[in-house]
Amino acid sequence: MSLSPDYENKLIDSNQMSSTHHRLQIGLTSLRSCVSWLFITILVLYVLYSSKFVLNTDGPNCSLPSSLDISTKENLETIPLLKNISITPTDQQKTSIPIIPPKSLRFDTDLKHIVFGIAASSNLWEKRKEYIKLWWRPGKTRGVVWLDKRVSTRRNEGLPEIRISGDTSKFKYTNRQGKRSALRISRVVSETLRLGLKDVRWFVMGDDDTVFIVENVVRVLSKYDHNQFYYIGSSSESHIQNILFSYSMAYGGGGFAISYPLAKELEKMQDRCIQRYPGLYGSDDRMQACMAELGVPLTKEPGFHQYDVYGNLLGLLGAHPVFPLVSLHHLDVVDPIFQGMTRVQGLRRLFESIKLDSASIIQQSICYDKKRDWSISVSWGYVVQIIRGVISPRELEMPTRTFLNWYKRADYTAYAFNTRPVSRQPCQKPFIFYMTSSKYDQGRKQYDVYGNLLGLLGAHPVFPLVSLHHLDVVDPIFQGMTRVQGLRRLFESIKLDSASIIQQSICYDKKRDWSISVSWGYVVQIIRGVISPRELEMPTRTFLNWYKRADYTAYAFNTRPVSRQPCQKPFIFYMTSSKYDQGRKQVFGVYSLHRDRYPYCRWKSDSPEKINSIVVLKRPDGLRWQKSPRRDCCRVLPSRQNSTLYIWVGNCREGEISEL
């Protein structure tokens, strides 16, 4: 029987497919068997390796190669200061990290641990002493009033001890708008320290027209470790005042506090510091200049009030921020806080409530009477305001502009906080209920800028870098790289010491007459000539504001212009590589000169252009933010290589400052 060719071909194909299918099944069975055995082998190896790792108590032997990529070992051995800094037991003891108490712990600071230094004028003493009597507690509060000359006194007036300030005629004062008394007032803390009072933790500075709520002074200062360096206060309510003077400055009229160890360091250097700033206006900006040299930033407590305003304080006191009220100032300038009373009478009434609950004084509460359609704002111990209609809490917590700014203008952009206008709608005018009496019942109990971030990141405030934003809008943070590449490089340093990333250190190469600003892990800037720390810690305006305008008043912090003097153009060294040396327990970072057109200058000092690279040495400090904030110090180390500069960055030694 013969088969047709088509049928024969189909039969052959069918047999081939059957054979192929059979071989495929055999292959899959073999593959499954191999995978199973491979899995069992890996499991056995993992168990054996884990057992060996657990039983072996010796840590891994991690060491750097003998020759570092960053700098040669031979050159490091030629640096005598580096040996002292990194190896000697003495320095290890100095740089050892103290045991830090838990953050939740409040220190047992009491009123007896606080000494007040009050700056007063003999011309205004008879009037201003009435303010001091309101808050001073004879036998409980400690402090001194410092006057320019003697005044007549009476016994049992309930006032602090009066002393005469030291002679300041040796200090220069060149500010034409200010008064020489600023020199005397700036030394109040140092002069109070020299009295040698015992068991002092804090010095609190204020003016003769400053009223303190002493219980709240204690509450605020109890949050901080008095054994560390703290400079505590608040800036002005006036945005323009803060721009002209400083957002980083505690305004003396509102009062500020300095911890005892910081006061000791200040006293050692303050007279030298004052000599360096003859052109400053007041006492508080001189104090801040010295704090900048010490590397200590302002720790802001919003309860200290300068009140650089005119008019009625109802809007401000009726919507106080949720912080304890610590002080009031400029009481001779603003209206009496209670209508129909003198200023002193109004304050006496406020102190009736303070005696009952000082912690809650003028704290705002917001509620609604839904039946009557009322919005109610309570400023405890001071005023209740009822407004017809429903006003959101977001609006009610903004102060109404019942006051004018320091320049007597009704300009809402002039304040360093949000405000809202007094309503022009008569039916929404608030009904105001002032406190008349009180009694205790015993039965009931982000970066919104454009351009180059060098100015901002090169002078970061003394607080940890938490986040960066708008990275698609600003320039890449490292020149010649994409945004992502630049951030990758920054994260190389972050991995080695995240707590110190872009933290600024300021030092001087006195032989070459250079000012040096180190933004650790990012950039080193060298400027010819001597620039004070007070200026260097202000960001240079290498950027534009969010509206792309070069307007220095547009920022909520102080800035300085890019220098128009070509010879003071900074030489910029960007971080190119960093590595941790296990043996020395230090991070070595190399910063290379950004090649740009640097002008030729006929200055006697050397040109930083001769430096090709800077090696920055630093010990990681993971616990730095559990201590009081302070800038690291930096020192220029000797080097045999003229083209390489070596800088040490680390904790400041006792008595070490960024001195000009």
Query: What is the per-residue pLDDT across 128-138, written as a single tens digit (0 to 9) for each?
Result: 999 999 999 99
pLDDT digits (tens, 9 = 90+) for 36-64: 676 777 766 665 555 444 344 444 343 43
On whether both 516 and 611 belong to a single domain, the answer is: yes
Distance (Å, whole) CA 82 – CA 90: 13
Q: Write the DSSP assignment of 301-335 as a string of letters.
A: -TT-----EEE-THHHHTTB-SS---EE--TTTBP
pLDDT digits (tens, 9 = 90+) for 563-595: 888 888 899 999 999 999 998 999 999 999 987
Which residues on neighbouring strands pair with residue 368, listed in sequence order?
Answer: 375
Contacts of 426 (CB under 8 A, 6+ apart): none
> What's the mean pLDDT in 596-600?
76
| 449-463, 475-489, 635-649: least confident range | 449-463
Position 33 confidence tier, pLDDT thresholds 50, 70, 90 = low
Position 478 confidence tier, pLDDT thresholds 50, 70, 90 = confident
With 60 as the cut, is the pLDDT of residue 9 above it? no
On whether both 399 and 504 belong to a single domain, the answer is: no
Q: What is the distance of C-alpha 114 from the center of its chain? A: 24
Residue 22 covered by a domain:
no
Q: Which domain holds residue 357?
A: 311-434
In 3-state terms, what secondary structure has residue 659?
coil
With 60 as the cut, is the pLDDT of residue 76 above it? no
Cα 259 to Cα 160, 232, 608, distances in angstroms: 21, 9, 39
Which residues on neighbouring strands pair with residue 320, listed in sequence order?
Answer: 363
Amino acid, res. 63: S
Enter the tokens of residue 481: 């790289």
Q: Which of 300, 320, 310, 324 has its CA nearest to residue 235?
A: 300
pLDDT value of residue 631: 92
pTM of this structure: 0.76
Distance (Å, whole) CA 607 – CA 584: 32
Enter the tokens of residue 128: 């201003």
With 80 as the cut, is the pLDDT of residue 554 above it? no
Enter the tokens of residue 520: 């650790």
pLDDT value of residue 72: 42
Cα 558 to Cα 145, 235, 295, 452, 555, distances in angstroms: 32, 12, 17, 17, 7
Q: What is the distance of C-alpha 172 from the center of its chain? A: 31
Position 2 confidence tier, pLDDT thresholds 50, 70, 90 = very low
pLDDT digits (tens, 9 = 90+) for 406-457: 777 767 777 888 888 888 888 888 998 998 888 776 655 476 777 788 778 8
Cα 167 to Cα 89, 170, 208, 346, distances in angstroms: 44, 8, 20, 37
On whether both 457 and 588 belong to a single domain, the answer is: yes
pLDDT digits (tens, 9 = 90+) for 329-359: 998 889 999 988 999 999 999 999 999 999 9
Residue 146 covered by a domain:
yes
> What's the mean pLDDT in 150-165?
91
pLDDT value of residue 595: 79
What is the CATH classification number for the domain harbouring 270?
Answer: 3.90.550.50
Q: Select from 306, 323, 339 the last residue of a domain.
A: 306
Report the number of distinct structural domains present in the chain: 3
Q: Select from 306, 329, 362 the last residue of a domain.
A: 306
Residue 80 covered by a domain:
no
pLDDT digits (tens, 9 = 90+) for 363-399: 999 999 999 999 999 999 999 999 999 999 999 988 8
On whether both 413 and 528 belong to a single domain, the answer is: no
Enter the tokens of residue 567: 């010879």
Decide: 502 and 539 in contact? Cβ < 8 Å. no
Q: What is the mean pLDDT of the chain?
A: 83
Decide: 353 and 382 in contact? Cβ < 8 Å. yes
On whether both 588 and 612 belong to a single domain, the answer is: yes
Beta strands in 47-175 (DSSP E): 114-119, 142-147, 161-164
pLDDT value of residue 55: 41
Decide: 287 and 280 in contact? Cβ < 8 Å. no
Q: Select from 279, 306, 333 the last residue of a domain.
A: 306
On whether both 206 and 341 belong to a single domain, the answer is: no
Report percent pLDDT > 70 for the chain: 83
pLDDT digits (tens, 9 = 90+) for 172-226: 999 999 999 999 999 999 999 999 999 999 999 999 999 999 999 999 999 999 9
Q: Which of 485, 635, 459, 599 has its CA nearest to residue 541?
A: 459
Residue 457 covered by a domain:
yes
On whether both 299 and 321 belong to a single domain, the answer is: no
The tokens 């003077």 sit on which residue? 245
Residue 61 covered by a domain:
no
Distance (Å, whole) CA 432 – CA 382: 10
Position 18 confidence tier, pLDDT thresholds 50, 70, 90 = very low
Contacts of 59 (CB under 8 A, 6+ apart): none
Contacts of 485 (CB under 8 A, 6+ apart): 476, 478
On whether both 285 and 387 belong to a single domain, the answer is: no
